[in-house]
Amino acid sequence: MLRLVTCLLLSLLVSLPARAADPVYEVEVIAFVRSTDPALHGGEDASLSSHRPSLDSGFELDMLGGLPLNNLRLGNVAARLKAGGKYQILLHQAWRQPVGSSSSAPWLHLAAGSVTADGNSQPELEGLVKLYRNPNLMLDADLLYRHLVTAPATAAAAPSQETQYAGSADTTTPSQPAATAQPTLQLREYPLVGSSRVMDGQISYYDSPMLSLLVQAWPVK
């Protein structure tokens, strides 16, 4: 209930006239991964860490309302990322929000895609972003990318065959066919944590070994 009330208040603030104390910004983000990275296909990856964003906090962007897709300013950037076939876009979203100090600015919850492991479905991309002034315009990102990878195959144990043939003195064990290796899928989680200054109208870039984020923000006049 508290989260719902806060979201309603945040939505109301966005609709207030320009005389409001906190300036209103439009924000656009693109989250993407390198689809050709060998780590996505079962390789070892040093980006794995124990850090996880506080996913129980943050407010849903649904309360702010997204901007029309034909108004997205980074559409050409998204098209170039897709064209080469080297990148997979996980999320491309834009919204409008008031921007206050770090202490008053809300964490906003982002989620996109779906991945299923052990019968449980979770967002493929999930996490939090916070836009604020300190005194420069800043954006903090705390995101998590979930991906299923093929774990190294393990051979199944061959059945024991030690029973001697009846009427035979031969005690050797008959040869058995090699056990078939059984590949398995494992869920891995890759975090992106960063904080950077955001210049009005310029693209800011956040990077990690697996996940990348582009951010653009501009004031609403």
DSSP lists the bridge partners of residue 29 as 93, 215
Write the pLDDT tens digit of every residue in 17-27: 434 578 999 99
Q: What share of the chain is helix, strand, coil (3-state, %, to 5)?
A: 15, 45, 40
The count of residues in the chain is 221
Give the domain extent around 128: 9-15+22-153+179-219
Residue 70 lies in a domain: yes
Residue 213 lies in a domain: yes
| Strand-strand pairing, 137-155 and 24-34 | unpaired
How would residue 72 be classed by pLDDT, with cut points 50, 70 and 90? confident
Residue 174 lies in a domain: no
How far, rounded to the nearest angstrom, does the alpha carbon of residue 50 sit from its chain's CA centroid? 15
pLDDT for the residue numbered 214: 98
Residue 160 lies in a domain: no
Four-CA torsion 107, 27, 51, 114, nearest 10 degrees: 100
Q: What is the largest CA-CA distance in the chain?
A: 101
How would residue 135 be classed by pLDDT, with cut points 50, 70 and 90? very high
Residue 163 lies in a domain: no
Is the peptide bond between 152 and the residue preceding it cis, with omega within 30 degrees of 0?
no
**pLDDT, mean over the chain:** 79
Please say whether the beta carbons of 28 and 93 come within 8 A.
Answer: yes
| 68, pLDDT greater than 60 | yes
pLDDT for the residue numbered 167: 53
Write the pLDDT tens digit of every residue in 25-44: 999 999 999 876 655 544 44
Nearest to 50 by CA among 206, 212, 189: 189
How would residue 125 be classed by pLDDT, with cut points 50, 70 and 90? very high
Distance CA 221, CA 208 (A): 34
Write the pLDDT tens digit of every residue in 194-212: 999 999 999 999 999 889 9
Tell me how many domains the chain contains. Answer: 1
Distance CA 144, CA 54 (A): 10
Nearest to 178 by CA among 147, 155, 199: 155
On the CB side of 40, how many CA atoms lie within 13 Å of its CA? 14
Considering only CA atoms, give the Rg of the chain.
Answer: 25
Residue 118 lies in a domain: yes
Distance CA 216, CA 26 (A): 8
Residue 52 lies in a domain: yes
Residue 172 lies in a domain: no
Type of residue numbered 12? L
Distance CA 27, CA 200 (A): 10
Query: Tokens representing 75?
Result: 């559409």
